[in-house]
Structure 1
Amino acid sequence: MFVTDLEPPPPGPTLTDTRPSGVFGLELDFATRDEQWLPDAELVDAAVGFDRLIAWASARQSAVLAEFARRGGDGSIRPVTAAVPAREWAADEIAMALTVSPGSARVRLAVAARLDGALRGTREVLEAGRICPSRARLIADRVALLPDAVATVVQDRVLPKAPGQTWAQLDAALRRAITAIDPEGAAERHRAARKERRVDVFAQDDGMATLWARMTAPDAAASFEWLTRLARGMGADDDRSLDQRRADLLAAALTGKLVIRDPTADPVVTAPVSPGKPLITVLVPYSVLTGFDDAPCEISGYGPIPAQLARDIAADAVWKRLLVDPVSGAVLDHGRSTYRPPAALADHVRARDVTCRHPRCRRAATTCELDHVTAWQDGGGTGEDNLAALCTAHHDLKEQPGWRVVLHPDRSVEWTTPTGHTYLTAPYDHRV
């Protein structure tokens, strides 16, 4: 008797999910020896495989550096103690061996030691090839000034989602976790950092320069928002890019040349630009407003801020109500009574999405376009269930041949690339 209804065996490991190792490196090398014959999807998988191999090698090197750093000054395998001093020349040795400066070598040894101790979980995820070296270094940098116990708690909070996040997304998650776990320290660090606000200029090539400013997050976000609004309001006849308009507007404002002209007046009326209060979205739990706790708050498109800073902003702000599901963290309702339904709907979608819904983009939804996920001409409606915030670049990408975007009922957005790979962006979790 022949059995014909047996299910096929599950697929074996691929270049994207095999645990990296030295043997995996050989397999990867063999699989890509004739890369010109590989289909597009396998080239992408191979690129992921090499990224995982790099992460594994970085973790193994970190373990070696940590072992080297903790040995006694005489080179013995005894751990460093009060009786067995550390090697004073360790950084110099590593600097010469790796062709880096002594300062860089000291930092690498310090990071390796932290990854071998309080941040051991980060090194394990790195060794498994699930995060890249730059993101492991980011975790170490963000918690560098925190006590080991607090650093470990922050690490454990962000690691589960870290493999699916970009550097910027992980950075925001780290800042949010630090603010949540150590609110008093976050407020103190903000007060100290605020004293360092300044403006500087750096010369560049070809007659150009960079004007650099360090200021509070609300001031920076509001400044950029108004530059963007003014730039977009300059009309379709202006052939400059949005970036060029922002730069020119900033220069004109700071040199006293930025004015508003009313060509309909007789004579033409000219007045300095005074746009009033900028619009920035600040997510603040009700418990913070009432002073019940100091949970972290957030500026849309920037990231977490301390509770006290959010309360300061709230004292001089126009408020809009958001009803948030306490279980899922999703926006259920955006209270508004002064605008027509289309404006309320736009506000609701932007409040729901917070940022561009491309999986790797953090552009604030307030500066994004609202896209009909299913095109209007294809029967898509203008409703919350068919609208998503997309920045201009990713709105254009969505319309390119081979790309497919689906907005699911739970408001997650699924992107499918021309090679058939899929990426999911979950709806923003408004819970702290």
Structure 2
Amino acid sequence: MFEEFTAAVAGARTPAGRVGAQARLENAACAARLASMYQMLERAYAASGSADREQWRCDTWSAVCAQIGAAQTITGGMANGQLMTAVILAEKLPMVGAVFDEGLITYLVVRTICTRTGLVKDPDAVRAVDAELAADLRSHGARSLNQLDADIDAVVLRHDPYAVRRTEDKARSRHAEVAYDHGAAYVTATVTEPEGRALDTRLDALAATVCDRDPRTRDQLRSAAVGAMGFGWNRVPCMCESPACDAATTPPVGGVVIHVIAPRDALDNAGGPAPEPPEPDDDVEPPPDDGFDCSDDLGFEDNDADSTAGSESDCSPTSSNYEPPTEDDRETPAEPESRPGPGVGDLAAQRRGLVGEAPPMLSKPLREYTFAELCAEQSADPGQFCPAGPGVVLGGGVLPAPLIAHLAMHARITALIHPGQAPPEPRYRPSRRLADFVRARDLTCRHPGCTRPATVCQIDHVIPWPYGATMASNLACLCVEHHLLKTFWPDWTYTLAPDGTVVWTDPDGQQTTTYPGSRLLFGELCAPTAEVVTTGTPPPKHTAGLTMPRRAITRKQARAKRIDDERRANTEWVEQYLRESIPPF
């Protein structure tokens, strides 16, 4: 079939014809990819001992999703969704799958159909829904997602009213969501009116805890009050920067910690506190050698509002053998038009510019400008560069240096030390200093495509202790799921280079490379560390005497229970619908 699609692309005579042929080729290729995922799952279930692993915390489904995610470098959630779609197409909707194989519909349409028909259980109803949808997809033209949802629900309603997806929307009528966007966060919530009035009053009360010299507007103070509630503070720290202000100190927190990594120059001359020297590490006795390397020590204190760390390593530009041309070699260029360029600004001034009223864009009303005057005034100020590099929230996004400096005014700052060529530590658990470095270097779980933040990951010995030493070149961050995958599942291995580069090998022998999350922003953290010190040769899989954490019920049983619960929740609505469907006499 692919030969037909590629021939159609090659034979297209117009750009529009090529677009149509390439779209069908893309859809057919996606269908083939999902079919390969289903084959991977079938092969895994057919393997010896598969039934015994169904209640493992990292079960057969999880292992296949990990392999799919590594092959495509996508997150585990995306791999799970694609595999679920592949299973539904193969086992419940083969006619819809045949339409997909022909490239007539997109993956978005297929995923929507699989989601909206997921509650249909009766085999006869499943076959009827599959046949009707397949016929409709072949004859129907383009439609919006809302129209597609309505059409699918209409088909499901005719064959199985209890299977209409409704309770999900009903459950979301009350919600609280936080969305992140380039250093800002947007909080939306639906609560009862008494709760809303209490929240409104609480924000005003917290905003009033600053002194009269605070430069922020009322809206900015209410926004800061939301953050204070998140940290568990009983007041908002004042930003007046006056030494006589009692409200400027950071209030005690309620156990909420946000870790931010930033370069030192984002803190210098920005008004923030000086970094504290590293604390001495307490010796920790190694646990019994059970072969399961599962460090759960986060390496951060739990009583800080913010932990902003800056590496002490210096990044100096490299030199080259470039020799400037002599006067005779130089050509005399034409005199360029003199235009002021953006200069390097003052970080403290840029930090202060984040609060208070926004300066006016124009010096007089817009109606009084000619077009030339307006262009001249807008281009008169070229702006200014930030003198410091950005930082990053562990588990979050990139923050510009002025915002880092703003946060640092009320944060505990700890210097982050690169271990360099330091010798190994004589214990199983890494010291706090070493754990901080590993998490700052990796930022996320090191399995391909996994984005779980390092703060919730375990620090894994790549070469198990005591065969591999506790040192930076032998430690990497792995989330619980991928730590269990590496420990218990055969043929999943990875290696770690001194610069933090990780190479994973899956059960099929395919290799995938991942790089430290800090490589782009904090390249100095990826400077090579000392080579790993090993003692003896570890066994292939040192799992003797270990027990995989188990699920209460299997994944299949949990999925069936969710379907039954949602169908049961539809009972009242279906009964009302059936009563209203009876024609009057």
TM bin (shorter chain) = 0.3 to 0.5
TM-score of the two chains, using structure 1 as the length reference:
0.39
TM-score of the two chains, using structure 2 as the length reference:
0.30
Q: Which has the larger radius of gyration?
A: 2
Higher relative contact order (CA 8 A, sep 6+): 2
